[in-house]
Chain A
Amino acid sequence: MLPQFSYVRPETLKDTVKHLSAGGAAIHAGGTDLLGCLRDGIMDVDKVVSLSALHDLRGVKETADGGLIIGALTTITEVSENPMILKKYPCLAQGASEVASPQLRNQGTLGGNLCQKPRCWYYRGEFNCLRKGGDICYALGGEHQFHAIFGHDRICIITHPSDTAPPLAALAAKVRTMGPDGKRTLPVETFHVLPRKNPQVETVLKPGEVITYIELPRPAGNMRSSYRKVRARRSWDFALAGAAIALEMDGDRVIDGRVVLSGAAPVPWRAQSVENAIRGKTLDDATIKRAAQAVAEGADPLPENTYKLDLFKGVIEEELNAVR
């Protein structure tokens, strides 16, 4: 059951920011994550500030320099079906199409997808864990087969739930925000927060700050990108392991590129070891093998999720084969 909250639907961004500045206020975009969080009692919210009157924040537009700008309220479905995104940034469209279920994609927004709360079953359940302000991480000593193998520092071992953030990070996208202190532009890559910095927040957004747009730079002419996601069931499920790959190619040779993992770490996880293994190389079997092996570098798997090491190897191998 949802707890009580007050509700407001401002018509301007300025107003929105003002409403959000009061403590206990939360943004409602599509509401698909927020309402679940409220039902599960994982955050104390007494005011819901709806963005749905901010029509300007919806839609996809080409920029003058050949990039794209996506309104934060654009639905995941719109992202997955937009012809420009399909054509120029296929990994983003694929990521979006792998999110949740059709209905949730129809309702959930890109901004919301980036800001959604983690799906750790302790966090969402009746456990007062570290991320909720408690003393311990239950997953660490408990049931963590779905949890992270990278970047958790054994503090909080969530995996970042978003399927759109890894492609966006791989594409070097940026988020534009508006807050009490004005506007900011931040790379998606550094948008999420590692537990070692602060295990109780997921993003660098400050109180009252709203994502307004997501900016995609113009892709290199010979960019190949793809997103692949493995999960326990084929719909409505977060990644066990996934990878967004965006490579600038010269024929068979990788000039440069990014590989960002989902289901891996508390943030979308840049697999630099893989990038290093392919940069400047021709994507042949041997390179792909080496790159796949490299994905495990720096991993800190736990007893129940060691399987992810092999899973990621498999995913990287398949993905690189798919783009070559």
Chain B
Amino acid sequence: MAEDSNVYYTEGLPVPETPAPGDKPAFWKQTDVVGKRIPRVDAYERVSGTAVYPSDIKLPNMVYGAILRCPHPHAKVKKVDASRAKTMPGVRAVITGVSPKVKGLNWKYRNYTGPLFDSHCRFEGEVVAAVAADTRYQAWDAAHAIEVAYEVLPYVADYKEALSESAPKVHDGGNLAGMDEYERGDISRGFAEADAVLEETYETPCQIHTPMELHGCVANWDGDRLTIWESSQGVYAVQSNVAEVLGIPLSKVRVIGHYMGGGFGSKLKPGKYTVLASLLAKQAARPVKMILTREETYLCVGNRPANTMRLKAGVKSDGTLTAFEFECIGPSGAYPGGGTALVDWLVRDLYKCDNVRCRSKDVYINAGTARPFRAPGHPQGSWALEQMMDALAEKIGMNPVKLRLKNIPAISQGRSEPYTTTGLKACIERGAQQFGWKNALKRAKEQNQSASHIKRGVGMGACVWYVGGGGPPSTVIIKLFRDGSVNLNMGASDIGTGTKTVMALVTAEELGVKPEVIQIEHADTGTTQYATPSGGSKTVPTESPTVRNAAIDVKRQILEMAAEDLDVRTAELDYEGTEIVWRKDKSKRIRVTDVGRLKKRGVVVGVGYRGPNPRTKTVNPFGAQFCEVEVNTKTGEMRVLRFLGAHDSGRVLDRLTYDNQVFGGIVMGIGFGMTEFRQLDGKQTGKLCNRNWHDYKLPTALDVPVDMESLPIEIDDPEANNTGTKGLGEPVTIPTASAIANALYMATGIRFTNAPVSPMGMCRRLAARKEG
């Protein structure tokens, strides 16, 4: 390396001051790397095809797993005969519910524990047997050659019927999975004070995550040590789950998940398939690759539950909200999965209202169990609340933007404590301005008065996300090598949000090192530090302050070491990126790479821990989205013309990945609002009708607008954490569908209380209007 220029550093880049030991780092007033549009640090691997995803792993001697699943929504397994399967070509291992190795193994759903192989199958897709064979094809052939005798039981598919007397019971204790009640103020007084009261029932569909990479893993034993490569949002979660099920020490389970092809909540935990792969691998004495088929992923790896919500709201003619009464029912599925979790949160927290009552009932049905899905509960609640807000505005003759601005809460009412910062007002105000709300409104009105059968509408929705502040625990290690290069070691997964990239930027900002020379080790329980799964929009606010702390720890150690070389006091030294400088006489300086103890030890290891969140304040991201749509009133076809997302998620770490998240959330919201729904054959068999990407429709490149804009609302939030960051990944999908529904209302004068609004639904409603 050249003497006078360290290739690993950006020369002349000012780095933040190093806080004294025990002191908190100062808030970054200005940043030099953070916040810019910087391509991902792992982009090369991802676009060259060299990134190895768990589904790409191939080990010597590896065989393939396949699972036989119960084809009935409710049945008891009477007999399993795998004798033919065992003799089929290539078969290396077969496991069924009566295999000795599976005795006593249990599987947990939240607070429910049952056998791993439960002969009482409560949903279509429950595991019945598993096979490993030389090729994926052979494994599949053999699994389906296993003969099973079922006693088919009556099922319940319709969650709205689940609590009726006559409904078949999913569990002996009945179909009520849980209830939740919340109340503040006095709603009857609130409704009495209102000038207008509206009440409406809304429904949202069951949405399936379907990340692009199939769920699955590769499992391999070395003696009693198990290594699993899993497509996962959190390797430590997989480790603890598998260790617990198999009854082996955590230290014996290594889980690796360097790359993964999307999860959206469905990969926060492993599945039974992970355990089955491990069991098959043991039995076959070979590594086993177990990748589910697309069809399987529609049945058994989670969903966003459908919800039916009744919302009654009171408003004064000046726009003051006086009361909300909210009731909700939704299905967990066959096991506890949070069928109504957080559906009422927006009603509780988003707009100022003194009198609120929320009640929800979570029920069991004979279908796959719900898992958290990007902003659990929120898009559903938003569908009800944001449409109601627009309806109220219309009722009292107020602009919907204004009604919302009128009701910005000063504190988090759901928690009775202040937010560290709230950008709700700024998101709505500045978003509306940037979107050109007034003009758009005018344009739409003009068009709708014309004779054209193409109608136009604009709509908006706002949101808060329940969490998004992150928090402990997290540990990160940064190693500074003697040549000045840096290694960042963290347990978090990068699920596509750009975690590795933004953490490299934080490191770069703090140390002055170039982001591209930072080597990142992550998502490996064997070699990286403990982290909670990437989800809940908490990865950035959890990990980035931890990374910063680790970088500061490195600087502190280097300063101490340099003090020896320069023979001055540590406290009088400044860390300036490439060099350490004596504050009293700037000519007294030493290059980091010349620091004696670093040269000798070869590396400095800095450790960062995630500090606590503010004790009496809540950290939440906010947002508002605006859209313009067109409706062909002859055919029911709709076109989303443009979208704008104004989001307050604290500091933007990388503008490129930030915008990408915003757009991605909007696309998913378009799916939720317009194309996606799980369809059960409720009346006849209870089986799933749409179990592929054709029958279950995701938005394509032709269903999303080219015109999308992201407007970050950056508000300094030094209290939240030391990087001032809040989560982004979930809020961006919360108000999308409701904004569309509001725009469709303006275009057609029809309130679409049931999501999704497909051309089928649009046609039905337009026809009904013609008749009515």
Do the two shown chains form a genuine complex with each other?
A: yes
Nearest-neighbor residue (CB-CB) of A313 within chain B: B634
**What residues on A are CB-neighbors of B692 within 8 Å?**
124
Are the C-beta atoms of A234 and B703 separated by less than 8 Å?
yes
Stretch at the interface among B93-101, B389-397, B482-490, B757-765: B757-765
State which of B684, B759, B767 has its C-beta within 8 Å of the C-beta of A138. Answer: B684
Chain A, 298-324, contact with B by CB distance < 8 Å: what is the 0/1 string? 000000001111110111011000000
Within 8 A of B (CB), among A206-258: 230-237, 240-241
CB-based contact A233/B700 at 8 Å: yes
CA distance A3 to B144 in the complex (A): 11
Which B663-692 residues have C-beta < 8 A from chain A? Answer: 675, 679, 681, 683-685, 687-692
The distance in angstroms between the C-alpha atoms of A142 and B688, with both chains bound, is 12
Residues of B within 8 A of A141 (CB): 683-684
- Give the contacting residue for A318; candidates B634, B679, B764, B766; CB below 8 A: B634
A286 close to chain B: CB less than 8 A: no
Task: Please state if B684 and A240 are interface contacts (CB–CB under 8 Å).
Answer: no
Is B687 a contact of A233 with CB atoms below 8 Å? Answer: no
Report whether B764 and A1 are in contact in the complex, using a CB–CB cutoff of 8 Å. Answer: no
The CA-CA distance from A2 to B694 in the complex, in Å, is: 18
B668 to chain A, nearest CB (A): 14
Q: Is A125's beta carbon under 8 Å from chain B? A: yes
Report if A235-B687 is in contact (Cβ < 8 Å); known contacts: A317-B634, A318-B635. Answer: no
- Contact residues, B718-772 vs A (CB, 8 A): 758-760, 763-764, 766-767, 770
**Main SS of the interface on chain B?**
loop
Chain A's nearest CB lies how many Å from the CB of B658?
28
Interface string of A127-159 (1 = CB under 8 A from B): 100000000001001110100000000000000
Interface contact A126-B759, CB-CB below 8 Å: no
Q: Are B634 and A307 in contact (CB under 8 A)?
A: no
Interface residue count on the A side (C-beta < 8 Å)? 37
Are B136 and A307 in contact (CB-based, < 8 A)? no
**A124 / chain B contacts, CB cutoff of 8 Å:** 692, 695
Residues of the B chain whose Cβ atoms lie less than 8 Å from the Cβ of A241? 635
Q: Judge if B137 is at the interface, Cβ distance under 8 Å.
A: yes
A2 to B136, CA, bound (A): 10
**Could you give, for residues 22-46 of chain B, a 1 whenever the CB lies within 8 Å of some chain A CB and a 0 otherwise?**
0000000000000000000000000
**Complex contact B689–A230 (CB within 8 A):** no
Q: How far is the CA of A2 from the CA of B137 in the complex (A)?
A: 7
Complex contacts, B760 vs chain A, CB 8 Å: 145, 232, 240, 307
What 0/1 readout, one digit per residue, does chain B (375-397) give for beta carbons within 8 Å of chain A?
00000000000000000000000
Interface assignment of B442: CB less than 8 Å from any CB of chain A: no
| Beta-carbon contact of B636 and A230 below 8 Å | yes
Is A269 among interface residues, defined by CB-CB distance under 8 A?
no
Q: In the assembled complex, which residues on chain B have CB atoms less than 8 Å from the CB atom of A1?
A: 66, 136-137, 140-141, 293
- Minimum C-beta distance from B121 to chain A (A): 15
* With A4-B141, A121-B689 as contacts: A314 and B703 at CB distance below 8 Å: no
In-complex Cβ contact of B685 among A119, A138, A236, A307 (8 A): A138
Report the bound CA distance from A129 to B671 in whole Å: 30
Q: How far is the CB of B68 from chain A (nearest CB, A)?
A: 12
CB-defined contacts of A142 to chain B, threshold 8 Å? 681, 683-684, 689
Contacts of A235 in B (CB 8 A): 700-703
CB pair B137–A122 under 8 Å, yes or no, is no
In residues 695-724 of chain B, which contact A (Cβ within 8 Å)?
695, 697, 699-703
A315 to B140, CA, bound (A): 45
In the bound complex, what is the Cα–Cα distance between A2 and B138 (angstroms)? 10
B564 within 8 Å of A (CB atoms): no
Is the CB of B71 closer than 8 A to any CB of chain A?
yes
Which residues of chain A are near B689, meaning CB under 8 Å?
121-122, 125, 142-143
Q: Is the CB of A3 within 8 A of B675?
A: no
- Select A233's contact among B293, B635, B683, B703, beta carbons within 8 Å: B703
Report the separation of the CA atoms of residues A310 and B675 in the bound assembly, to the nearest whole angstrom.
Answer: 20
CA distance A174 to B697 in the complex (A): 34
Q: A234-B702, A315-B635 are in contact. Are A126 and B141 (CB under 8 A)?
A: no
Asked if B766 and A143 make an inter-chain contact with CB atoms under 8 angstroms apart, the answer reads: no
Q: Mark A105-134, 1 if CB is under 8 A from B, else 0.
A: 000000000000001011011110000000
With a CB–CB cut-off of 8 A, which chain B residues contact A234? 700, 702-703
What residue of chain B has the Cβ atom nearest to residue A311's Cβ? B763
B637 within 8 A of A: yes
Closest residue of A by beta carbon distance from B689: A121
CA distance A318 to B675 in the complex (A): 24
Given contacts A125-B689, A127-B687, contact A230 B700 (CB under 8 A): no
CB distance from A309 to the nearest CB of B (A): 8
- Contact yes or no, B759 A311, CB < 8 A: yes
Q: What separation, in Å, do the CA atoms of A311 and B701 have in the docked complex?
A: 24
Contact B763 A310 (CB under 8 A): yes
Known contacts being A125-B687, A314-B634, is A143 close to B140, with CB within 8 Å?
no
Known: A121-B690, A230-B637. A237 touches B681 (CB 8 A): no
Question: Which residues of A lie under 8 Å from residue B687 when comparing CB positions?
Answer: 125-127
List the A side residues contacting B635 at CB < 8 Å: 230, 241, 311, 314-315, 318
* Chain B residue contacts of A315, Cβ below 8 A: 634-635
A143 touches B71 (CB 8 A): no
A235 to B66, CA, bound (A): 32
How far apart sit A88 and B685, CA to CA, in the bound complex (Å)? 49
Q: Is there an interface contact between B141 and A3, defined as CB atoms closer than 8 Å?
A: yes
Nearest opposing residue in chain A for B700, CB measure: A235
Q: Which residue of B lies closest to A238 (CB)?
A: B694
- List residues 109-157 of chain B with CB under 8 A from any CB of chain A: 136-137, 140-141
Q: In the assembled complex, which residues on chain A have CB atoms less than 8 Å from the CB atom of B688?
A: 125
Residues of A78-126 at the interface with B, using a CB-CB cut-off of 8 Å, are: 119, 121-122, 124-126
Do the beta carbons of A232 and B681 come within 8 Å of each other? no
Whether A232 pairs with B679 at a CB distance below 8 angstroms is no
Contacts of A145 in B (CB 8 A): 760
| Complex: A119 Cα to B684 Cα, angstroms | 19
**Complex formed: what's the CA distance from A230 to B679 in Å?**
21
* A310 and B697 in contact, given A315-B635, A318-B634 (Cβ under 8 angstroms): no
Looking at the assembled complex, report how far the CB atom of B565 sits from the nearest CB atom of chain A, in whole angstroms: 63
Which residues of the partner chain B approach A237 to less than 8 Å between Cβ atoms?
694, 697
A232 in contact with B758 given A1-B293, A125-B691 (CB within 8 Å): yes
The chain A residue with its CB closest to the CB of B763 is: A307
Chain A min CB distance to B761 (Å): 8
Alpha-carbon separation in the docked complex, A313 to B71 (Å): 41
State the CA gap A236–B759 with chains docked (Å). 15
User: With the chains together, A235 CA to B693 CA distance in Å?
Assistant: 12
Chain A 1-31 per-residue mask, 1 if CB under 8 angstroms from chain B, else 0:
1111000000000000000000000000000
Nearest A residue to B699 via CB reads A233
Q: Which residues of B contact A232 (CB under 8 A)?
A: 675, 697, 758-760
The docked-state distance in angstroms from the alpha carbon of A138 to that of B681 is 9
Question: Least Cβ distance of B53 to chain A in Å?
Answer: 20
In the complex where A230-B635, A237-B697, A315-B635 touch, is A122 in contact with B763 (Cβ < 8 A)? Answer: no
| Distance from B303 Cβ to chain A, minimum over Cβ atoms (Å) | 17
Alpha-carbon distance between A309 and B760 when the two chains are bound, in angstroms = 11
Residue on B nearest A228 in the bound complex, by CB:
B635
List, in ascending order, chain A residues with CB within 8 A of B697's CB.
232-233, 237
Shortest Cβ gap from A308 to chain B (Å) = 8
Known: A1-B140, A126-B687, A318-B635. 13 other contacts (CB 8 A): A124-B695, A125-B689, A125-B691, A142-B684, A143-B689, A231-B759, A232-B760, A235-B700, A237-B697, A241-B635, A307-B764, A307-B767, A311-B635
12 contacts across the A-B interface (CB closer than 8 A): A121-B690, A125-B691, A138-B681, A142-B683, A142-B689, A145-B760, A234-B700, A234-B703, A307-B763, A309-B767, A313-B634, A318-B635
B interface, CB within 8 angstroms of A: 66, 71, 136-137, 140-141, 293, 632, 634-637, 675, 679, 681, 683-685, 687-692, 694-695, 697, 699-703, 758-760, 763-764, 766-767, 770
Task: Please list the residues of chain A having a beta carbon within 8 angstroms of any beta carbon in chain B.
Answer: 1-4, 119, 121-122, 124-127, 138, 141-143, 145, 230-237, 240-241, 306-311, 313-315, 317-318
What 7 A-B pairs come out closest when comparing CB atoms? A314-B634, A234-B702, A1-B140, A307-B763, A235-B700, A314-B635, A310-B767
